Amino acid sequence: MYISARERKIIEQLLRAKQDITIKEIAKSIQVSDRTVHRDLKGVEDILDSFGVTLVKQSGRGLELQASQPRLDELHEYISQLNHEEYTPEERKVLLISKLLHLREPVKLFTLATELNVTAATISTDLSRADDWLGDFQLSVVRKRGSGIDLSGTETNKRRAMSRLLVEFVNEEDFYSLIHRQPDEEGSMNTVSARLLHLVDKDMLSAVEEAVQDVRGDLPYEIADSAYIGLVIHLTLSIERIKLGEEITMKQGGLEEMMETAEWKLAGELARRLEGKLAIQIPQAETGYITMHLRGAKLSAEQYVQLDQANMDTVLYAKKLIRYVDKKIAGDLEKDSSLLQGLVTHLYPALYRIKEGMKIHNPMTGQIKEEYPVLFQTLEEGVKAVFPGLDIPDEEVAYLVMHFGSVMNQRRRNTGYTALVICSSGVGSAKMLASRIQKEISLIDRVQTISVQEMMDMNLDDYDLVLSTIKLTSVNRDYFVVSPFLPQSESVAIHQHLQQLKPKAKETKQESNAGLHIDHFEGYSKSVNAIVSLLNQFEVYRFDSADIPGLLDSLCTEMEKEKKIESAEEVSKALIEREKLGGLGIPNTGMALFHARTQAVKQPVFTIARISGALMTKGMDGGEQEITTVLCMVTGEDSSQEELQVLSSISAAIVHDEKSLHVFEYGEKDDVLHQLSKVFNDYLKSL
């Protein structure tokens, strides 16, 4: 059966969706137009029919696959085992660029078309797109009648382009997979990532990575994984070209400048290690390029740069940029010393990279353009005015937007609204909702989470906004009942409501310095004790259960045996009662977060139960969903505020990003403990 690349991607999206998915969502995910998805659905339906799977289209809701689980499993297995020899236009462009960069002699158009399984006309169009990308590196595609396709440009620029290609299109997971996984495990890698990475010698890549890792700790600043991978890839490609006898050169003035830097000595040490490992001679020019990469990697560290005479020109540039934004949209940003410091810290290495033609990959560029269109455009114009002789790429502008956007959002919050979030226990869905509010609604300054029981002792009129994950009784003011995942419709409704309100006046309280210090350290001590207890008692259990009550009974029985709780029966009952109040399934995952407060628990406990087969439960968005993982969070009714806040930090961390979701849903015990340790470390730093 022939399945095109787009049909494959559409079916993958349908299989991945835990609930209805719209045409627009599919189109955005696979980077095509809505019309293209509509056009491909006929072919998709024919494929699904052959597996006994029905595509259900529901007006106003979207698309959904309907079939027995065995049939869906069969379809999933077939799709995942497909030989993906047909590529999307973007994948073809990347692979074509890679092929061109490795040419030693011209290649026929027909050969390229055959390798990528497309027509000569299609490959001709792809070559034009590849030529546009290569043009940034002073390289150009040459079409020679009679001999074929060739690439024109210097070896140095080809090396720069290949480094950029690998860093931009190979994700960090695939990079480490190639180096550290066993050969039979590499099949799970992304198709294009695998093709690109296998263009370099794996043994050499591993040797270079080991040498770079040895000297990484000697740097006076940290570098992020993206910069680290960029350096490893650059060195691997350079060594391959050295072995082929290709000359690596650097202008004498540039080389002398590198020799005067602090990174030159470390670059030399790295070169010597590589010479010993690989039995090669690394020229001085290559040591210069290593130095450039180390200096350019300072961005990732975001270390503190002193505002002194040595970088006073950068300080002046930063102040000009702040004044430009002040004049256009903000006002009064010049008084913010943290913004100036952040900009100087960023601009100091960024300007060096730009002048040296070292490109940087910013994976958030598209998202930042979408979320901050006015600020992005203002800074795009601002850098042209402040740096008229430099071509500042969008990736660098996006980093500047992050600096300005952070400060401007904080200012909005300081004059914003207060919100009270209520759930039955005050630690599970409430904290998840609070995390979503702070992410989605910048107008809200402060969010407090409480339980229904604690609500009785509070004056709800002290808050601009009251939200609850359950229906409340005996409440004499307006409030919103919302999902812990805060879908867009609810977020919009809250925005519209806030637009009609004036923030309540904030009281300024005078506090005793002595009392503040004592309270702070007492609270810090309680938080540390709660964290140590949670980490020591954490466990990942595995069960065969036919239903949720049976699973919770089994889990609580195990916890009682290990003396984590006092009564399995009481805790299980409390968890089931909580489920009746509202859905606990985390949308678009196979997880549910069960939580409760009960006298049968004397100290906070967090555990995970993995289920051999899927169980059905109600999701936080109101729909039914399958789960294979239960996150269980319980604590006592008289728990301290510090214990509740520590537990709440876990709830917020679960949905922090895709990586965090993956660890909690699929990770082994050590993986989750590592994630929890990072969460708690960040929490303690915030106190």
The DSSP annotation for 583-636 comes to --BPTTSSEEEEEEE-TT-SS-EEEEEEEEEEEEEEBTTSSEEEEEEEEEEEE-
Rounded mean pLDDT of 72-86?
72
What pLDDT does residue 177 have?
63
Res 384: pLDDT: 93
Q: Can you tell me which residue has the tokens 């909702």? A: 433
Task: Evaluate whether the domain defined by 416-500 bears CATH number 3.40.50.2300.
Answer: yes
Strand order, beta sheet including 444-451: 444-451, 417-423, 465-468, 480-481
Average pLDDT along the chain: 79
Q: Which fold has domain 309-411?
A: PTS-regulatory domain, PRD (1.10.1790)
DSSP character string of 266-301:
HHHHHHHHHHHHHT----HHHHHHHHHHHHHTHHHH
More confident residue, 544 or 231: 544
3-state SS class at 110: helix
What's the CA dihedral at 117, 120, 121, 126 to 10 degrees? 60
Domain ranges of the chain: 5-81, 89-153, 200-297, 309-411, 416-500, 517-685
pTM value is 0.38
Does 302 have pLDDT greater than 60?
A: no
Helices vs. strands in the chain: H and E counts, helices first? 30, 12
Report d(CA 156, CA 238) in Å as an integer. Answer: 9
Q: Which residue has the higher pLDDT, 192 or 612?
A: 612
- Residue 380 predicted with pLDDT over 90: yes
Strands (E), 43-127: 54-58, 62-66
**Structural class in CATH, domain 517-685:** alpha beta
Assess whether pLDDT exceeds 70 at residue 621. Answer: no
**129 or 581, higher pLDDT:** 129
- Of 182-191, 434-443, 561-570, give the range with the top mean pLDDT: 561-570
Give the domain 5-81 fold.
Answer: Arc Repressor Mutant, subunit A (1.10.10)
Q: Are 676 and 534 contacting, i.e. CB atoms less than 8 angstroms apart?
A: yes
User: At which residue do the structure tokens 């940003």 appear?
Assistant: 333
Query: pLDDT of 42-53, one tens digit each?
Result: 888 888 988 899
Q: What is the pLDDT of residue 356?
A: 65
Element (H, E) at 71: helix 69-80
**Is the confidence at residue 671, as pLDDT, over 50?**
yes
Asked whether the predicted pLDDT for residue 188 surpasses 60, the reply is: no
Select the CATH number that applies to the domain covering 89-153 from these four: 1.10.10.60, 3.90.380.10, 1.10.10.10, 1.10.3730.10: 1.10.10.10
Strands 417-423 and 140-144: unpaired
Domain 200-297 shares a fold with domain 416-500: no
Inter-residue contact 492 to 441 (CB < 8 Å)? no
- How far is residue 67 CA from its own chain's centroid? 33
pLDDT 10s digits, 402-445:
778 767 766 655 556 888 888 766 555 666 777 777 766 766 77
pLDDT for residue 429? 65
Q: Tell me, what's the pLDDT at 222?
A: 60
Q: Residue 546 carries which DSSP code?
A: S
Strand order in the sheet with 624-635: 540-543, 605-618, 624-635, 591-597
HEC string of 300-313 equals HHCCCCCCCHHHHH
Do 240 and 199 form a contact (C-beta atoms < 8 A)? no
pLDDT of residue 262 exceeding 50, the answer is yes
Residue with token string 């505020």: 641
How confident is the model at residue 562, as a pLDDT? 92
How is residue 59 written in tokens?
């007006």
* DSSP state at residue 187: G
CB of 655 within 8 A of CB of 439?
A: no
| Residue that the structure tokens 């214990």 belong to | 643
Indicate whether 100 pLDDT > 50: yes
Strand blocks (E) in 439-526: 444-451, 465-468, 480-481
Q: Which CATH architecture has domain 200-297?
A: Orthogonal Bundle (1.10)
Q: What is the pLDDT of residue 330?
A: 60
Model confidence band, residue 194 (pLDDT cutoffs 50, 70, 90): low
